[in-house]
Amino acid sequence: MMTQEKRWLNDRIGNFTASQIYRLLVTERGGSGFGQTAMTYIMEIVGEMLTGEGKPSPSSKAMDWGAGHESEAMEMYTECTGRKVLYFGTSNPVFFKINGIPAGGSPDGLIENKRIIEIKCPYDTANHIENSIMTLDEFKKNRKEYYAQVQLLMIATNTMYADFCSYDPRIIDDNHRLSVLEIPFDKTFCQNMLARIEAAVSVRNDIYNRVIRKVA
């Protein structure tokens, strides 16, 4: 029987994902085309299509730290807000795909199909402090990868709000361990992002077909 994690990995193959979508938004210097960062990402997606395997998730102390504290962050969120959350987490990931477009994402939690939750547990406390004091405009400017991530997640889940949570269990005062920034759906940003994805799909398909013809 296929495990939930294996099913999640299979669902992601060939799709542009929320956690990596910021790479696709990087333009070439002085232009609007796809820069090297974006092209590398497109090549990785083509590689998934050709091999049927997703790129292995990177591992680091910072990422292990985040995964290890995510569930307690979610517990604190539910206690502070009183909201009932459908928590997916690292042991129960679910990939929400956007209809008609090979893209989607995996939110950390979903509230009554109205709001998504994305949790970050920074390895560096300074990053948590920065997350905690940012306004929405500052977040959009200084956390571009996270802003793009939650916007794509809202498209995929058909929701209008995202709660971006930053959590650091090392903070002595319980009241400051968790910060929550409400991020509304950004229609203009999402329209531009979807147009970018559609352009990337065309490039992806062209590269894939060229490889197929080359080896046929």
Residues 62, 83, 81: CA angle, nearest 5 degrees? 70
| DSSP conformation class of 34 | B
**Cβ(139)–Cβ(181) under 8 Å?**
yes
Domain boundaries, the chain: 4-215
d(CA 190, CA 98): 12
Give me the pLDDT at residue 56, please: 66
d(CA 162, CA 105): 13
**Cβ(171)–Cβ(125) under 8 Å?**
yes
d(CA 4, CA 6): 5
**Cβ(120)–Cβ(66) under 8 Å?**
yes
Output the CA–CA distances (angstroms, integers) from residue 135 to 42, 130, 150, in the order listed: 32, 10, 16
Q: What is the pTM of this model?
A: 0.93
Give me the pLDDT at residue 215, please: 62
Residues 20, 25, 29: CA angle, nearest 5 degrees? 130
Smallest CA-to-CA distance from 153 within 110, 195, 92 is with 110
Give me the pLDDT at residue 1, please: 57
Give me the pLDDT at residue 74, please: 95
Instruction: Considering the domain delimited by 4-215, tell me its CATH architecture.
Output: Alpha-Beta Complex (3.90)
Give 215: exposed, middle or buried? Use CB within 10 Å, 0-12, 13-18, 19+: exposed
Each residue's pLDDT expressed in tens, for the chain with a length of 216 residues: 567 778 888 899 999 999 999 999 988 776 778 999 999 999 999 999 999 988 766 678 888 888 889 999 999 999 999 999 999 987 789 999 999 999 999 999 999 889 999 999 999 999 999 999 999 999 999 999 999 999 999 999 999 999 999 999 999 998 899 999 999 999 999 999 999 999 999 999 999 999 988 765
